[in-house]
């Protein structure tokens, strides 16, 4: 998986490319732990995300809770049908903001 970060003031956009699974979720966790200082708006761009597993879902949940705890927001953008179906079946669509 490739992670590309773009910071604009208090907004951080993270574009994910590839698969967010057991192997790559710790990579995203590490990026989020060290990169959220001063961030109020976290945007995860899923334009090139092909797949998400339960480990990936856990990473999203941790990030979401972190942002809520900071009084911030987290938004998923450009979610493809395969990933959206996983988010729907697991109930994450009712927890996360998806645009």
pLDDT tens track for 12-51 = 999 999 999 999 999 999 988 888 889 999 999 999 999 9
Task: Please give the pLDDT value at position 52.
Answer: 96
Long-range contacts, 66-74 (Cβ 8 Å, 24+) = 66/32, 66/36, 67/36, 67/39, 67/42, 70/36, 70/39, 70/40, 71/40, 72/39, 72/40, 72/41, 72/42, 73/40, 73/41, 73/42, 73/97, 74/42, 74/43, 74/44
Whether the pTM exceeds 0.85: the reply is yes
Quickly state the pLDDT bin for 86 (edges 50, 70, 90).
Answer: very high
Question: Does domain 2-98 match CATH 3.40.47.10?
Answer: no
């Amino acid at each position: 998986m490739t992670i590309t970060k773009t910071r604009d003031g208090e907004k951080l956009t993270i574009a994910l490319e590839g698969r967010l699974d057991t192997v790559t979720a710790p990579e995203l966790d590490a990026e989020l732990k060290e990169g959220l200082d001063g961030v109020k708006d976290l945007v995860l761009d899923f334009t090139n995300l092909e797949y998400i597993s339960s480990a990936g879902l856990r990473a999203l949940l941790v990030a979401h809770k972190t942002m809520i705890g900071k009084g911030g927001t987290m938004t998923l953008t450009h979610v493809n049908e395969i990933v959206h179906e996983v988010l729907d079946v697991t109930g994450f669509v009712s927890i996360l903001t998806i645009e």
